[in-house]
Amino acid sequence: MELLERFAQGDIDAFEALFQQFQRDVYGWILRIVRDPAAAEDLTVETFWRIYKARARFDPQASFGAWARRIATNLAIDHLRYRRPEQELPAQLGAPDGPNPALQREARDQIQRAFRRLPAKLQAAATLAFIEEKSYDEIADALGVSVGAVRLRMFRAVRILRKEFNRMGLKP
C-alpha cells in the first residue's frame, strides 16, 4: 500500500516516514515567516500534530507537501497575530551593522517594529515576497488563496509600510 494511503489510515510508521521526509521543509518554511527558531520548532511540532489529527480528511492523491505547508502557514500566521511587535528578533536574522552601528541599529529596530506591526496576514505575505523573494504563486499556494488575494495583501502592506517609513523620515 502507498505511504500516503497508510498514513491516511492512521499508520504511525507511515506518519513517521512522512515526518522525516518533510520536517525540514516545514520547519524552514515556518522559520521564514516567524523568524524565530524556538517558535519555529514548536510550530513544526504543532503542524505535524494537526496533520496527524486531520489524517482522515487527507486525500492520498493530493500533494502531502503542499497540504503540510498550508497548515504550517496558518499556524505561523496565528503565531504572528499573538506575538507582540516589541518582542526582539533573534540577532542572526537581522541584517549586519553598517559604518555607524548604533544609529543603524536604532533605525533598524524602528523598521523592524513597523514591519511587525503589520496585520499578520500582510506581514506573512510581505516577508515571503520581499525578504525570502518567493513568487506570488508560491505564496498563494501556501496561504491557500488566489494570486489576486496575495497581490492585494502586498498592496495593503506596502501602503502601510510606506506611510510608516515616511513618518520615520526614511527616504527610499
Partner 1 sequence: MTKPENHYDDVRAIVKKTFQPVAGGEPPRDLWPAILRKLDAHALRRRVPWYDWALLGALVGTLAIFPDLILVVMYHL
Binding site for partner 1 (CB under 8 A): 12, 16, 19-20, 23-24, 27-29, 31-32, 35, 37, 40-41, 44-45, 48-49, 52, 92-96, 108, 111-112, 115, 126-127, 129-133, 135-137, 147, 151, 154, 158, 161-162, 165, 170, 172
Q: How far apart are CA 82 and CA 91, in angstroms?
A: 21
Q: How far apart are CA 143 and CA 71, in angstroms?
A: 9
Minimum Å gap between C-beta 151 and partner 1 is 8
- Contact in structure between 72 and 32 (CB atoms under 8 Å): no
Q: How far apart are CA 119 and CA 116, in angstroms?
A: 8
Minimum Å gap between C-beta 140 and partner 1 is 8
Minimum Å gap between C-beta 137 and partner 1 is 5
3-state secondary structure 69-83: HHHHHHHHHHHHHHC
Question: Residue 118 is placed in which grid cell?
Answer: 503589520
Question: Residue 127 is placed in which grid cell?
Answer: 516577508
For partner 1, the closer CB: 62 or 95: 95
For partner 1, the closer CB: 58 or 165: 165
For partner 1, the closer CB: 67 or 165: 165
